[in-house]
A and B are shown apart, each in its own frame.
Chain A
Amino acid sequence: MATAVLEARGISKGFPGVLALDDVSFRLDAGQVHALVGENGAGKSTLIKVLTGVYRPDRGTLLLRGEPVTFDHPLAAQRAGISTIYQEVNLVPQMSLAHNLLLGREPRSRLGVIDMTQLYAEAERVMTRYGIRTDVRRPLRSLGMGTQQMVALARAVSIDARVVIMDEPTSALEPREVDTLFGVIADLRAQGISLIYVSHRLDELYRICDRVTVLRDGRVAHGGPLDELPRVDLVALMLGRDPAEIRREGATKFSGEHTAAASGPLVEARSLSRRPALRDVSVQVRPGEVVGLGGLLGAGRSETAKAIAGALPLDGGTVLVAGQEVRRGSPAAAIRAGVSLVPEDRKAEGIVPTLSVKDNIALAALPQLSRSGVVSDARVDRIVDSFMRRLRIKAASPDQKVAELSGGNQQKVLLARSLATGAKVLLLDEPTRGIDVGAKAEVQALIDELAAEGLGVLLISSDLEELVEGADRVVVLRDGAVAGELSGDQVTEEAIMATIAATGETDG
């Protein structure tokens, strides 16, 4: 067997409280396009950071063309021929395309100063090879994401990269740009350059990748040639399910059945579009119903929830609450209409850690609790008290800092905040991620109760079990579009995975 271009052997990397990588081995051969997949927290980013010198592994070795190496710095990895093209392109937006492409290698005139004519000519020549025809003197930020990514790629290759790591390169690209990118990738492969390709778009993976490594919970769940692995199996591996023995075990606290009122939808999203993240997504939730949103990371689940909550600017589509259209792109209007989002990233988008439990609950409801701008303390206390009891929030007192609470209780505080605004529709994005088992069951039971009281719930979860047992219906998203809808007995883990794995063309 030929020597691998880049090999990781038994890599472990821990952070306080988590083992992000646990004895991970990975091998990349010359001219190979290697898919690296896994859900959130699987360890992909950590592995990439270890390979590119951002992190040092706690244990294990890296081998470059058979020689052990250590990278102290991202620049060291880059000098060794490993280039990373991040989702957020790492170029200078204000500088021209040509200057970005050739920074540090500018052609000089006889006087030793930069020869602008040659600089632009050289840049034009390089970009033409990558299928980009544009004015290379324009500042990079005025160009499309596809072009920017291509410049990053061209720069990486031109500084003698032997390994190019691409992290979700197509997430911001138009289909036409994706085709150009794939053409370039094919060329690079022919030149013997190896690629590590991180993406959740199955169609793309099967189109260009030779091998796949699936990470889950910091370990390698699978490694092998991609074309031998059926799509459903790949999805099952990513989501941590053994496709052979999926069975409902009833481990969650969901009762599973809600008596959805036969009335019209409480909230209805029609043809939500925001290129390229969302394409024509429609979802309905009736009173008393829990609707699940399924799909892989990056399929558009969080974006759908944010769009309904007015927190995402849209290219098109409407949101109706109880038949009334809600003003687009205004979270305040959505809250007034009774739609409340409990975001995925509790720390960044949800709680205000330095404030007390009481303040966190009352925050969004303040406009309703105040009269001509003056907040009535007594009313706040009453409402906070009632929600703390109703949601069984365990805190020393309403004045305790919310940062001191456990993850589960923080989540309940967020739920209480939503309910305090008089929400009729709850959009819950991964409500049980990162909280312990006991608290998870409590939050699940709470969601059930709220639905039983007539609220509409849109539940996003990567935990298939939670989705199957918690939701009455599941809308499956793929690459920003609705791939299918399952209801009643159809809601099974197999059916969800099969819908995710179905090829994009069949239901175009």
Chain B
Amino acid sequence: MTTTIADADAGAEARCRPGALRRERVGHLLQHHGALMVLAVTVVVGAVAFDSFATPQNAANIVVSSSFLAIVAIGMTFVIISGGIDLSVGSSFVLAGVLAAYGSRYGLLVALLLPLAVCGAIGLVQGLIVARTGMAPFIVTLAGLLGMRGLMLAVSDEGANTYLVQNDAFSALGQTSVLGLTAPVWITLGLVLLGGVLLQRTGFGQQVYAIGGSEEAAVLMGVPVARVKVLVYLISGLLSGLAGALNAARLSSGVTILGAGMELDVIAAVVIGGTLLTGGAGGLTGTMAGVLLLGVIQSLINQIGVLTSSFQQVVSGAFLALVVVLQRILHRAQRLS
């Protein structure tokens, strides 16, 4: 009997010991900044290994080509934290590009607003279906993916017709360089800041976390669950539409192939960034680190030369698997501590 009491006390003490605390801190750090640390290590390794890697030109290339993925990933981060998933972003991105190029003949405003309106509306509808019918987001947005792909093919005559951007002001939006970086990079930065404030510092952001953490609890805590869900899919739709439009401006045409399948890269970036696929935890800093990590891996593989760029996906896949396993272990460690 005495031993039981002693054991019990020892157990209680163990939980307060600095060792356990330190382990918890490390776990916390890895969960939130793991992708950032891996990114730093990868960059350092790349810089040491390749002379042409750590040049301003290469850095700018990585940042510019990552910016479109980054914009879509902001929206995806909101959706995944809320406990959902949005598979339609790739189709939405392509459709937006085609619509923007098509609309550019009617002026800058139409080139921008047409894709935003269409992709936003589809996001809104997906959100309404998810929130009101309780259908699985996976299925609803898969339908969105197929529907928007079809819509894009219809607009572009089965992909045969590539619209060229016929508005210089719109092209400038994708190509103008400010301080060595193109406009989309600055737009991305602005959106990340805005999204970060929205997520961390507003009631809406907290509600997104609450729903993803425990929908049942969120209901009882008075969170308007349906409204928040509709909003996250709307945000995701708008941002994928914006990214697609900006990409069309950069390329001066509505390319019908680029971006198909992008949803998987976006989800990979978000998850590598430490956002839990089950919802309730994560953030935009991690997502941005995840996006950049994918970009850096791509760049490094280009440097190696002997490897084809297909290997980028192999490496990204390995990273993704590693992150998910790590998250699982961290989760269990936190449960036990």
Asked if residues B335 and A316 are in contact (CB atoms below 8 Å), the reply is no
Asked if residues A113 and B335 are in contact (CB atoms below 8 Å), the reply is no
Asked if residues B202 and A273 are in contact (CB atoms below 8 Å), the reply is no
Asked if residues A92 and B222 are in contact (CB atoms below 8 Å), the reply is no
Stretch at the interface among B127-135, B207-215, B251-259: B207-215
Which listed residue (B8, B24, B217, B276) contacts A91, Cβ 8 A? B217
Asked if residues A92 and B210 are in contact (CB atoms below 8 Å), the reply is yes
What is the CA–CA distance of A75 and B221 in the complex, to the nearest angstrom? 8
Most chain B beta-carbon contacts within 10 A, residue among A79, A94, A174, A280? A94
Which listed residue (A95, A139, A280) contacts B4, Cβ 8 A? A280
Most chain A beta-carbon contacts within 10 A, residue among B1, B197, B200, B221? B221
Against A, the Cβ 8 Å flags (1 = close, 0 = not) of B202-236 are 11001101101110111111110000000000000
Most chain B beta-carbon contacts within 10 A, residue among A93, A116, A280? A93
Asked if residues B220 and A95 are in contact (CB atoms below 8 Å), the reply is no
Q: Which residue from chain B places its CB closest to the CB of A137 in the assembled complex? A: B28
Which listed residue (B200, B223, B281) contacts A103, Cβ 8 A? B223
Is A142's CB within 8 Å of the partner chain B? yes
Asked if residues B206 and A114 are in contact (CB atoms below 8 Å), the reply is yes
Is B280's CB within 8 Å of the partner chain A? yes
Asked if residues B197 and A142 are in contact (CB atoms below 8 Å), the reply is no
Is A360's CB within 8 Å of the partner chain B? no
Is B158's CB within 8 Å of the partner chain A? no
Q: A78-B222, A114-B202 are in contact. Are A316 and B210 (CB under 8 A)?
A: no
Q: Which residue from chain B places its CB closest to the CB of A140 in the assembled complex? A: B213
Question: Within 8 Å CB of A318, what residues of B?
Answer: none
Is B201's CB within 8 Å of the partner chain A? yes
Q: Which residue from chain B places its CB closest to the CB of A75 in the assembled complex? A: B222
Question: Within 8 Å CB of B7, what residues of A?
Answer: 315-316
Asked if residues B222 and A104 are in contact (CB atoms below 8 Å), the reply is yes
Is A74's CB within 8 Å of the partner chain B? yes
A-B interface contact total, Cβ < 8 Å: 82
Question: Within 8 Å CB of B206, what residues of A?
Answer: 95, 99, 103-104, 106, 114
Question: Within 8 Å CB of B213, what residues of A?
Answer: 92-95
The smallest C-beta distance from A194 to any residue of chain B, in angstroms, reads 19
Is B55's CB within 8 Å of the partner chain A? no
| Interface residue ranges of A65-95 to B (CB < 8 Å) | 74-75, 78-79, 90-95
Q: A91-B214, A99-B209, A103-B210 are in contact. Are A74 and B4 (CB under 8 A)?
A: no
Is B334's CB within 8 Å of the partner chain A? yes
The smallest C-beta distance from B8 to any residue of chain A, in angstroms, reads 7
Is A271's CB within 8 Å of the partner chain B? yes
Question: Within 8 Å CB of A106, what residues of B?
Answer: 203, 206
Asked if residues B203 and A90 are in contact (CB atoms below 8 Å), the reply is no
| Interface residue ranges of A134-175 to B (CB < 8 Å) | 139, 141-142, 144, 155, 159, 174
Asked if residues A273 and B4 are in contact (CB atoms below 8 Å), the reply is yes
Which listed residue (A74, A94, A273) contacts B280, Cβ 8 A? A94
The smallest C-beta distance from B128 to any residue of chain A, in angstroms, reads 20
How many chain A residues sit at the interface, stated as a range, is: 20 to 34
| Interface residue ranges of B162-205 to A (CB < 8 Å) | 197, 200-203
Q: A113-B197, A141-B335 are in contact. Are A94 and B222 (CB under 8 A)?
A: no
What is the CA–CA distance of A332 and B264 in the complex, to the nearest angstrom? 41
Asked if residues A74 and B220 are in contact (CB atoms below 8 Å), the reply is yes
Which listed residue (A75, A78, A113, A159) contacts B202, Cβ 8 A? A113
What is the CA–CA distance of A103 and B12 in the complex, to the nearest angstrom? 30
Most chain B beta-carbon contacts within 10 A, residue among A103, A144, A155? A103
Is A347's CB within 8 Å of the partner chain B? no
Question: Within 8 Å CB of B335, what residues of A?
Answer: 141
Question: Within 8 Å CB of A139, what residues of B?
Answer: 281, 334
The smallest C-beta distance from A367 to any residue of chain B, in angstroms, reads 29
Asked if residues A114 and B221 are in contact (CB atoms below 8 Å), the reply is no
Is A189's CB within 8 Å of the partner chain B? no
Is B337's CB within 8 Å of the partner chain A? yes
Q: Which residue from chain B places its CB closest to the CB of A99 in the assembled complex? A: B206
Q: A114-B201, A316-B4 are in contact. Are A95 and B222 (CB under 8 A)?
A: no
What is the CA–CA distance of A351 and B278 in the complex, to the nearest angstrom? 31
What is the CA–CA distance of A155 and B222 in the complex, to the nearest angstrom? 12
The smallest C-beta distance from B208 to any residue of chain A, in angstroms, reads 11
Asked if residues A92 and B209 are in contact (CB atoms below 8 Å), the reply is yes
What is the CA–CA distance of A316 and B4 in the complex, to the nearest angstrom? 8
Is A279's CB within 8 Å of the partner chain B? yes
Asked if residues A94 and B203 are in contact (CB atoms below 8 Å), the reply is no
Asked if residues B200 and A114 are in contact (CB atoms below 8 Å), the reply is yes
Asked if residues A279 and B201 are in contact (CB atoms below 8 Å), the reply is no
Q: Which residue from chain B places its CB closest to the CB of A271 in the assembled complex? A: B4
Q: Which residue from chain A places its CB closest to the CB of B197 in the assembled complex? A: A113
The smallest C-beta distance from B185 to any residue of chain A, in angstroms, reads 25
The smallest C-beta distance from B16 to any residue of chain A, in angstroms, reads 10
Is A275's CB within 8 Å of the partner chain B? yes
Asked if residues B217 and A92 are in contact (CB atoms below 8 Å), the reply is yes
Asked if residues A141 and B221 are in contact (CB atoms below 8 Å), the reply is no
What is the CA–CA distance of A308 and B213 in the complex, to the nearest angstrom? 35
What is the CA–CA distance of A275 and B5 in the complex, to the nearest angstrom? 11
Asked if residues A78 and B220 are in contact (CB atoms below 8 Å), the reply is yes
What is the CA–CA distance of A159 and B201 in the complex, to the nearest angstrom? 21
Asked if residues B202 and A92 are in contact (CB atoms below 8 Å), the reply is no
The smallest C-beta distance from A149 to any residue of chain B, in angstroms, reads 14
Q: A90-B220, A91-B214, A316-B4 are in contact. Are A114 and B203 (CB under 8 A)?
A: yes
What is the CA–CA distance of A98 and B157 in the complex, to the nearest angstrom? 55
Asked if residues A95 and B334 are in contact (CB atoms below 8 Å), the reply is no
What is the CA–CA distance of A103 and B225 in the complex, to the nearest angstrom? 13
The contact sample of 15 A-B pairs, CB cut-off 8 A, is A90-B216, A90-B221, A91-B214, A91-B221, A92-B213, A92-B214, A94-B213, A95-B206, A99-B206, A104-B207, A106-B203, A141-B335, A174-B12, A271-B4, A315-B7
In addition to A95-B209, A113-B202, A142-B334, 16 A-B residue pairs with Cβ atoms within 8 Å of each other are: A78-B220, A78-B222, A90-B217, A92-B209, A92-B213, A92-B214, A92-B221, A93-B213, A94-B213, A94-B276, A95-B213, A104-B222, A114-B201, A114-B206, A139-B281, A315-B7
B interface residues with partner A (beta carbon < 8 Å): 1, 4, 7-8, 12, 15, 24, 197, 200-203, 206-207, 209-210, 212-214, 216-223, 276, 280-281, 334-335, 337
> Which A-B residue pairs are the 7 nearest by beta carbons?
A92-B213, A113-B201, A94-B280, A94-B213, A94-B281, A90-B217, A114-B201
